[in-house]
Amino acid sequence: MARSMKGRSLISSADFSAEEYQMMFEMTADLKRRVKMGEGHTQILRGRTLAMIFEKPSARTRVSFEVGMAQLGGHALYLSPNDIGMGKRESTADIARVFGRMCDGIMARVFEHEKVVELAKYAGVPVINGLSNDEHPCQSLADLYTIHEQRGDLRGLHLVFVGDGNNVAASLLLTCATLGVNMTVIHPNGYDVEIKKVEAQARQLAEGSKATLNFTTEPDAVRGADVIYTDVWASMGQEAEAEARAKLFAPYQVNSELVSKADRNVLVMHCLPAHRGSEITDEVMDGPHSVVFAQAENRLHAQKSLLALFIANGQ
């Protein structure tokens, strides 16, 4: 299975089968165990370089990929919008061709999803979608690994996403549908743009895994949930809408009252950064149900599994 992953790219959360996700989980667990047991880091990426293209800033994405490459013996190169001007100063295809000749892999955090698709088309090396307006597959990989770490078998669990049907929700929908996790998205009316883009694909995947997918505007749909997940109400690029969204989304806050309606052992997740007191309260985020910071840490280990499987075996 590991050989079948060599040279692969992660563009969408729908790119991999349940068996391949399991391989990623196993690699993640092994790499994390090495860190926790003080066994030292494997050097399987010694001499390898990852180009990191950032059109959108991110603390967690940059730190996790830089630290991940360092722990695996490689090097990560940070490139800001001012460094390359992708699609403006130079075409995305040309940048892909150049970086593919100089680097062993590319991670891109972009606005338009088509840019990461184009990078993968022309680079000739593995490309990892660090986030696009459509999806956030690295996040959903770390999220489902975290649930697996906490609960074991994922099949039949019920994850409820509360808030804006954004790129994070879209990737979660595809990953849950692949892995047999039932998912409900609770959102204000009309705030389901990104999940609508992937709904048909997710339903097709869910047919194979027997997962159920539901969409509603009713916060009470958290009843019986094994996982409650939320995200900011206004993402990057939506700052002008923040005040209006705050009023509209107020009934969807993840607070103690909402959490009390879920399973007594419910896990609470947030991809960060969190606006405490808006989409989630301090009491919940710092409370006994929260796995938010374990989830954040697992971005590092899950992404290391991608680097190890894609790049170390990819040349």
HSE-CB of 188 using CA atoms within 13 angstroms: 16
Helix (H) or strand (E) holding 222, with range, is none
Residues written for the chain: 315
Dist. CA 41–CA 71, nearest whole Å: 6
What sign results for the dihedral spanned by CA atoms 233, 239, 243, 248?
negative
Catalytic (active-site) positions: 109, 136, 139, 231, 271, 299
Would you give the distance in Å from CA 131 to the centre of its chain? Answer: 8
- Six-digit token string for 157: 């669990």
| Sheet strand arrangement including 213-216 | 213-216, 182-186, 158-162, 227-230, 267-270
Dist. CA 67–CA 69, nearest whole Å: 6
Judge residue 36's burial from the number of C-beta atoms within 10 Å of its C-beta, 0-12 exposed, 13-18 middle, 19 or more buried. exposed
The DSSP code for 184 is E
Amino acid at 44: I
Dist. CA 13–CA 129, nearest whole Å: 10
CB 27 within 8 A of CB 308: yes
Helix (H) or strand (E) holding 282, with range, is helix 282-285
